[in-house]
Amino acid sequence: MADCLFCSIAAGDIPADIVLSNDHVIAFRDIAPQAPVHVLVIPKEHHANVGELANQAPQTAAHVLQAAKEVAEAQGIGDGYRLVFNTGADAGQTVFHVHAHVLGKRDLTWPPG
Ligand code: 5GP
Ligand code: ZN
């Protein structure tokens, strides 16, 4: 999709610190990490948010979740990590290409802010 930051990262047009890539998804470190491990997992194809992804491409949603697990294990946080999909501006979504935040390696409080 034109003018989408994460489509540009998926296409390799904007550099990122990529930790996993396969036919369906890529995962890269967040530019403003909120925890020692903070990785974003995105589908290569554009969907605006996780609700649209689930409706339009449920198999791709499964690939995102599987990749998040693989990233967590590879980053040493397989025993405890937080998976976040900010969905909509009211929830703090700022990039409207669906992405899972994989967060860990510090104490994570609940409820979140
Ligand atoms: P959201 O607020 O939409 O849930 O999350 C967007 C995330 O993308 C933020 O955590 C932000 O730090 C990250 N981000 C924004 N621009 C870039 C970028 O150019 N590169 C990387 N690696 N992360 C970005
Ligand atoms: Zn996109």
Work out the mean pLDDT of the chain and round it to a whole number: 97
d(CA 26, CA 95): 16
pLDDT value at residue 2: 87
Provide the pLDDT confidence category of residue 89 given band limits of 50, 70 and 90.
Answer: very high
Residue 65 within any structural domain of the chain: yes
The answer as to whether 109 is a domain residue is no
pLDDT at 1: 84
Which atom of ligand 1 has the smallest separation from the CA of 34? 10
Do 24 and 69 meet the contact criterion of CB atoms below 8 Å apart? no
Region 39-44 average pLDDT:
98
Q: Is residue 74 part of a domain?
A: yes
> In this structure, what token pair is assigned to residue 45?
């194809």
CA distance 113 to 16: 27
Looking at the CA of 97, name the nearest ligand. 2
CB 7 within 8 A of CB 63: no
Give alpha helix (H) positions in the chain.
Answer: 5-10, 50-56, 58-74
Residue 36 in this model has a pLDDT that exceeds 90:
yes
Q: Does 100 fall in a domain?
A: yes
| Mean pLDDT confidence for 53-76 | 98
- Residue 38 in any domain: the answer is yes
Q: Which atom of ligand 1 is nearest to the CA of 95?
A: 3
| pTM for the model | 0.98
pLDDT tops 90 at residue 5:
yes
- In angstroms, the CA 58 to CA 64 distance is 10
Query: Considering every ligand atom, which ligand is closest to the CA of 32?
Result: 1
Is residue 47 domain-resident?
Answer: yes
Q: The CATH number of the domain where 93 resides is what? A: 3.30.428.10
Residues with CB under 6 A from ligand 1: 5, 16, 28, 30-32, 40, 86, 92-95
> Domain range for residue 29?
5-104
92, part of any domain: yes
Residue 110, domain member (yes or no): no
Indicate the number of domains in the chain: 1
Percent share of the chain, pLDDT over 90: 97
